Amino acid sequence: MSSLPDRTARSALDPLWRGLRAVRAAITVGFYMVIAPSGYVPFALFCLLWRGEQRQRARILHRVSARGVRIMHWWLRTMRIIHFDWRKVDLGLPAGPCVVVANHPTQLDPTAMMAVLVDGCTIVKPSVYRRLLVRPLLEGAMHFEGPSLDPMSIDHVLHSAVDRLRSGMHLFVFPEGTRSPEGKLHEFGRIAFEIACRANVPIVSVALRCEPCYLSRETPLFRPPARLPRLFMERLAIDDPASCGGDSRVLRERIESRYRQWVADGMPAIVASSAPNAAGSMSPTLRGTGEHLAWTGEPGACYGVGMSKITVNNHGPYRIEGTFSITDAAGKEFGLAGRTVISLCRCGHSANKPFCDGSHARQGWQSSCEARELPPQKPKV
Ligand code: FES
């Protein structure tokens, strides 16, 4: 049995911790309201007076903004409002530009992403992008305006995004378009996936979780939890658009179903693979092979680039995880609808062969297999 303390247990002091956290949050917001407007002015002046290359200006602004949001997260940690430590995050991004997508549980996700990615740009809601003081900074950093009600604006967004990626930046997008409901996901929009396909760059899925929930729509700033909320950022997978034939619909379905599986599993922590250079080694030579990192669907699961793992379950099926295809004897592929985990029947009782349908348990089928060394292969003559 687990010996972990019950973290959901209530204590008589909970209202006190909540109240203190709300007071610290209020002080922080007040402080921000006072200094933020004056903080934007130097940025606006810098952007107006800059006469050099646009990309160079964006790089400078990204570095400065990353430093700013890191200081902000340090403050929030120190004040015990919400804990996010960007130094502990290792997304193992591929070399070169990529699209980073993430679920969106809290209001702080964009700043957390800026703190980690540094040289990254994003799509900004028109209502925010057009704010007088913020716009020069956003434009200077080469962030760009999201689509409006005008259908033609989509083309502009796609064009701007591909342009940024070609200049070597990362692009981060929250494909739900708004904050996720607690413990759930909104439907994913297609734009991030279309951008990755058009630019032919890898797409990195990032899992964000806040424990306990805070700064979500349901748990706003002045209703903090008693226990210190912690925001975690982990890599869920890397996909190559070429592995879906460059079809953004298929790519979106694959990635969204992986997120939904992770959410259905209770948003467990993800343990990154210790394989050499894991995703960071996703060099141009690896792109186009259809290899990706895959969520294996188990708490504490590992990831490996381009790997498939087969587990021989005792008294049960073969469980295959990672990158694989299954074909019939004629070489025709089964459509797996983007599944990255599947169980194949080992007992011979399934009515849905080659897949497991649970008959092994109903039949009381027994077979245990322990891992062992095989004898060396006989030399071929
Ligand atoms: S192993 Fe599950 S039905 Fe055969």
Q: What's the CATH number where 351 sits?
A: 3.40.5.90
Q: Are residues 300 and 329 in the same domain?
A: no
CA 98 to ligand 1 center in whole angstroms? 40
Range in 34-48, 79-93, 218-232, 341-355 with the lowest mean pLDDT: 34-48
Q: Is the pLDDT of residue 247 over 60?
A: yes
Range in 110-114, 170-174, 306-310 with the lowest mean pLDDT: 306-310
| Mean pLDDT along residues 345-370 | 89
| Mean pLDDT along residues 251-263 | 93
Q: Are residues 232 and 359 in the same domain?
A: no
Q: Is the pLDDT of residue 273 over 60?
A: no
Nearest to 176 by CA among 165, 187, 184, 167: 187
| pLDDT for position 373 | 83
Q: Are residues 71 and 164 in the same domain?
A: yes
Residue 129 CA to residue 125 CA, distance in Å, equals: 6
- From 359, 367, 369, the mutation candidate for ligand 1 (largest count of ligand atoms within 8 A of CB) is 359
CB 222 within 8 A of CB 22: yes
Q: Is the pLDDT of residue 70 over 50?
A: yes
CA 349 to ligand 1 center in whole angstroms? 6
CB 105 within 8 A of CB 82: no
CA 338 to ligand 1 center in whole angstroms? 21
Q: Which strands make up the sheet holding 308-312, listed edge to edge?
A: 308-312, 318-322, 341-344
**Tally of structural domains, the chain:** 2
Q: Is the pLDDT of residue 69 over 70?
A: yes
| pLDDT for position 1 | 37
| Mean pLDDT along residues 124-137 | 88
In a domain, 376, yes or no: no
| pLDDT for position 294 | 36
Which has more pLDDT, 271 or 357?
A: 357
pLDDT tens digits for range 202-211: 999 999 999 9
CA 320 to ligand 1 center in whole angstroms? 13
Q: Is the pLDDT of residue 244 over 90?
A: no
| Mean pLDDT along residues 228-250 | 92
Beta carbon of 349 within 6 Å of any ligand 1 atom: yes
Q: Are residues 262 and 285 in the same domain?
A: yes
Confidence of residue 293 (pLDDT cuts 50, 70, 90): very low
In a domain, 9, yes or no: no
Q: Are residues 296 and 350 in the same domain?
A: no
| pLDDT for position 149 | 80
Give percent of the chain with pLDDT exceeding 70. 85
Confidence of residue 9 (pLDDT cuts 50, 70, 90): low
| Mean pLDDT along residues 63-72 | 94
| Mean pLDDT along residues 39-57 | 86
Instruction: Return all residues near 255 (Cβ < 8 A) that are at least 6 apart.
Output: 101, 188, 193, 203, 205, 237, 239, 338
| Mean pLDDT along residues 312-334 | 80
| pLDDT for position 104 | 96
In a domain, 27, yes or no: no
- Rounded alpha-carbon distances, angstroms, from residue 107 to 169, 180, 208, 212: 23, 10, 12, 14
Q: Are residues 252 and 352 in the same domain?
A: no
Residue 337 CA to residue 261 CA, distance in Å, equals: 13
Beta carbon of 356 within 6 Å of any ligand 1 atom: yes
Report the atom number in ligand 1 closest to the C-alpha of 344.
Answer: 1
| pLDDT for position 271 | 59
| pLDDT for position 328 | 80
State both tokens at 313.
Answer: 């379950």
Give percent of the chain with pLDDT exceeding 90. 49
In a domain, 335, yes or no: yes
In a domain, 18, yes or no: no
Residue 193 CA to residue 8 CA, distance in Å, equals: 37
Which has more pLDDT, 134 or 228?
A: 228
Q: Is the pLDDT of residue 288 over 60?
A: no
Beta carbon of 354 within 6 Å of any ligand 1 atom: no
Range in 143-147, 308-312, 345-349 with the lowest mean pLDDT: 308-312
Beta carbon of 213 within 6 Å of any ligand 1 atom: no
| pLDDT for position 371 | 85
Which has more pLDDT, 274 or 48?
A: 48
CB 207 within 8 A of CB 262: yes
Confidence of residue 71 (pLDDT cuts 50, 70, 90): very high
In a domain, 378, yes or no: no
| pLDDT for position 370 | 86
In a domain, 74, yes or no: yes
- Rounded alpha-carbon distances, angstroms, from residue 25 to 21, 83, 230, 233, 370: 6, 13, 15, 22, 54
| Mean pLDDT along residues 97-119 | 95
In a domain, 12, yes or no: no
| pLDDT for position 298 | 34
State both tokens at 350.
Answer: 């399934």
**Which range of residues forms the domain containing residue 321?**
307-370
